[in-house]
Structure 1
Amino acid sequence: MGSLATPERNLLPRFDWLPGQSSTLAAIHTRDFLQLYTRNTPTTYYEGRQGPTGFEYELVRRFASELGVSLAVDRSHHIEGVLDAVRSGAADLGAAGLVLDPLTPGIRYSRPIMSLQPMVIYRRGLHPPTSVEDLEELKIGVLANSGNVLALRNARRDHPKLVWRETHKLENTDLIAMVANGQLDAAVIYAHAFKLSRIFFPGVENGFKLGQPLTLAWAFPDNGDLSLLNRANRFIDRMRANGELARLKRRYFGHDDYLEYVGARRFISQTRKHLDKWTDDFLAAARKTGFDWKLLAAISYQESHWNPRATSPTGVRGMMMLTRTTAARMGVDNRINPVQSIDGGARYLKELVERLPDDIPSPDRLWMALAAYNIGMGHLADARLLADRQGLDPDSWEDVREMLPRLQESRWYQTLPHGFARGKGAVYYVRNIRRYHEILSYVTRSQRQFSPLIDNRTASRSSLFNVVAPDAAP
């Protein structure tokens, strides 16, 4: 999928070898970049609203900055491909949700980075599995070469009838989707990976922890010198000692990283308590941009719950949750100033609407602009491209909305320029804003009490797997 370079540098000492001596680290400094192989997943690397992001990407980016070199990223692989690239020397290091396994041939591993807890997830409606015995009659999926396979192998020592299906062609979000739609009964993935995706799959439940926690680590070739590995280990030790590693883990995994699907009852309650103080600001921004002020209020509620000081784990801030880049482009110098944030967010939305092709009619272009506000114009373009490939109308929101969830499925996003995106989140985002807008429109037309507004009633890829039966165990 190509490479990406980040030019971030610092002035820390670069040398980790004797003068005149060749080393892996010396070669990296000579070519002036560190080559990373990773996976395009929500826990490793993906393109977010502010550009490339992900826990492991962020950690390696900081390591490259410490070395004083750029970072080149190849994100087009699954676990097996990452390990093969490390063994062959195509990658300086692999950071791809890899479990520390000293028996992996051709690989040296770094210091431990974080714990990985294998977890059984299952489809709602099944009898909840609570033990390994409960899994023996279920169709179970797992990613090949992952630590979750190790957990299953360990479990089969005491439960020889245990059978599962391994795949190296899918990712965790694919497995969760297959559990949700009935292609699998259950899957084994890491607990933190499920936490990031569970809101998009309400038909999938936590089961139980499978075995003991494993260890996330970086992979290095075992046929070279230790200069890069030693430097990486010192970097990890320092990040742990100064608390930066713990802060990064909290930022990416210490919360449910999804758009909160807030019920209409709570929205109406918040409207009664807080909207009046911001109405004039929404009206002013609406006069400047031509949008309905109630739409801007709905966007702001979805983004920040009308909290001027709101800050996301990824650094977007304020009533309209602007990134630094967007704020600068809109002339907003104080993102937590509610007047500036509302004005800047409204003008940014107008810019997105105007950037869309003229052929897209209203109101479809507004819904698409909202989706772009959430996941970026590049990912929206990918969804429109998918719609066109499928013989659908890329200018129709209904058709593009059907394609957005595919940005979370590896067989689709690997064919697209911008890769993985939380496409289901964008669908929920637009749906929520439209619902909030409708409620506000109703409220402004009626003097009724708010409570009557609430209706409590509203609220085969089997060929990709290798079945691992007891007689197929390694």
Structure 2
Amino acid sequence: MPSKFALITNECLFMKRIFQTIILLNILLVFGVQCTFFQKEKEIPFWENPVTLDLDDIVKRGYIRAIVDNSSTSYYIYRGRRMGYEFELLRNLASHLGVRLHLIVKSDIEDAFILLNKGQADIIAMNLEQSENRSLYANFTLPLGEMSTVLVQRKTGPKVTHIQELHGKTIHVPRGAIYKSQLCALHQDSTLYFNVVEMREGREELIAKVLSKEIDYTVADKDLAMVNNTYYDDLDISVEISEKSPVGWAIRTNAPQLEVAINDWVTKRTKSGYLATLYSKYFLNSKNSYYRTNSAFSSLGGNLISEYDEIIKKAAETLGWDWRLLASLVYKESAFDPEATSYAGASGLLQLMPVTLERFGVENANDPYQSLMGGVNFLRYLDKFWRERIPESNERIKFILASYNIGHGHVEDAWRLTLKYGKNPQYWENVSHFLKLKTDPEYYRDPVVKSGYAKGHIAVNYVDDILILYNSYRVLVEP
């Protein structure tokens, strides 16, 4: 039997443990509540505080960023050229605003609204129907047209001929598209129930999945569905989901200058007939649309940029370049025409002058491989010229491209001016500023300038054009 002392000791230990446990629980409670409080702080919706960036800022920056979809009517590559209804509209708008056009390819519409409000894009150019929810996310331009939507299915198999026959079916739609709310509106009929599954794929990707029998049904704008119906015999688009309604582009709610400017442009282009002509080109001329989008030289129908892709790939290896970058340069110079000749006498795929052809061992300027390799050898020479001064390869490529266009002497002058005025000459952004100033006597007569006057802004735009085209190739064409 334990002693009285032992019982008292055990009781004291027990009470001590209870006391320690209570203190520990209080500490955890206090700090746990604080931790929970900070972690569960209410997240601000992405649309409530959009980045302040209006037309003045866009013009000052020099380019406007637009989100487009990769589809046969929105934006794609055909024989090296950028094409598409939205693309041509945006290019015209950018010219109207006096800025360059940068495109962002995005199928997910929800992501597009987030990028817009974060200031990473300025326009969502997807022909969007306005809705109550979308009015929270963005403002909408004047209508660029009207769209209705249809069910896309196969002619063979369990074909739906009436909305009521969708009962029990599963319909896949692009995430964030208006199609989900249109379909949900059909649920008002209490006898009709079906599943709507949102996907990250774009409209034409889902149409392709219908054709490959991965899914049975999707929904698309009628105009886009009609274009695809021209290509594919097994596509049925006879069931209408919604009637025609106005569609436009989305812009930030706090960009009134941009909204006014776009609406002014829409009004003028509608009156001039430009919108109707462009609509006819992409939506009504189905034969041309078929050839463009099903060609092996289309980013939609194949994965070729030009018939010279293979020799461009081999040549790019000797440069250490992405072949699509070299292809962008070739397109800019000759549009892949080996017999192209400029007013100044430059010829071949990379438009070399006779003296340069001779210097780099080109005997036949019209031979695609010879002229291409002559240009590549010249590019290698320029790479060596700039390598020590511009060690970072992505920056050096910009110097090489500008030198290819205007001559490395003029670019070197701008490099010296950049150094003289205390800027870092290893960055193209700094050097391009002084290259553009070479039309000003104050700069081209500076003692550090050796090559004199030059229209440097042309070379700067040349670099931008190639890099913008390269970005399109990189997004739409596989490596």
TM-score, normalisation: structure 1: 0.50
Match of 2:205 among 157, 167, 174: 174
Matched residues in 2 for 1:96 and 1:75: separation?
11
State the partner residue of 2:243.
Answer: 212
C-alpha deviations, 1:65-85, integer Å up to 9, x for none? 011111111214521111111
Match of 2:131 among 91, 101, 123: 101
Give the number of the structure whose residues are more often helix, by fraction.
2
Query: Given the alignment of the two structures, is residue 25 of structure 1 paired with residue 55 of structure 2, yes or no?
Result: yes
C-alpha deviations, 1:261-306, integer Å up to 9, x for none? 9xxxxxxxxxxxxxxxxxxxxxxxxxxxxxxxxxxxxxxxxxxxxx
Q: Within 5 Å, which residues of 2 pair with 1:151-166?
A: 151-158=182-189, 161-166=192-197
Instruction: Report how far residue 233 of structure 1 moved.
Output: 0.5
Query: Given the alignment of the two structures, is residue 36 of structure 1 paired with residue 66 of structure 2, yes or no?
Result: yes
Instruction: Report how far residue 212 of structure 1 moved.
Output: 1.0
Matched residues in 1 for 2:53 and 2:119: separation?
13
Asked which structure has the greater RCO (Cα within 8 Å, sep 6+), the reply is 1
Deviates more, 1:124-133 or 1:224-233: 124-133
State the partner residue of 1:119.
Answer: 150
Match of 1:87 among 114, 117, 131: 117
Q: Within 5 Å, which residues of 2 pair with 1:46-445?
A: 46-104=76-134, 105-158=136-189, 161-222=192-253, 224-256=254-286, 257-259=289-291, 326=335, 330-331=339-340, 351=368, 417-420=473-476
SS of corresponding position for 1:211 = strand
Q: Is the 8 A contact 1:23 1:227 kept in 2?
A: no
Given residue 233 of structure 1, which amino acid in structure 2 is its aligned partner? N
Distance change (3 Å), C-alpha of 1:55 and 1:350: farther
C-alpha deviations, 1:139-165, integer Å up to 9, x for none? 321112212223212222225533233
Q: Is the 8 A contact 2:69 2:105 kept in 1?
A: yes
Q: Is the 8 A contact 2:230 2:290 kept in 1?
A: yes
Q: Is the 8 A contact 2:116 2:122 kept in 1?
A: yes
Matched residues in 2 for 1:116 and 1:328: separation?
39
Q: List gaps (5 residues or longer) in structure 2.
A: 1-51, 294-331, 343-365, 374-470
- The alignment covers a number of residue pairs equal to 270
Distance change (3 Å), C-alpha of 1:170 and 1:77: closer
Superposed CA RMSD in Å reads 3.7
SS of corresponding position for 1:35 = strand
Distance change (3 Å), C-alpha of 1:188 and 1:331: same
C-alpha deviations, 1:431-465, integer Å up to 9, x for none? xxxxxxxxxxxxxxxxxxxxxxxxxxxxxxxxxxx
SS of corresponding position for 1:27 = helix
Matched residues in 2 for 1:161 and 1:185: separation?
18
Q: Is the 8 A contact 1:24 1:225 kept in 2?
A: yes
Matched residues in 2 for 1:215 and 1:244: separation?
18
Distance change (3 Å), C-alpha of 1:167 and 1:26: same
C-alpha deviations, 1:182-211, integer Å up to 9, x for none? 222222111222233335543322231212
Matched residues in 2 for 1:35 and 1:57: separation?
12
Matched residues in 1 for 2:372 and 2:213: separation?
40
C-alpha deviations, 1:22-69, integer Å up to 9, x for none? 971111111111121222222222222242221112111111101111
Given residue 164 of structure 2, which amino acid in structure 1 is its aligned partner? E
Matched residues in 2 for 1:230 and 1:46: separation?
29
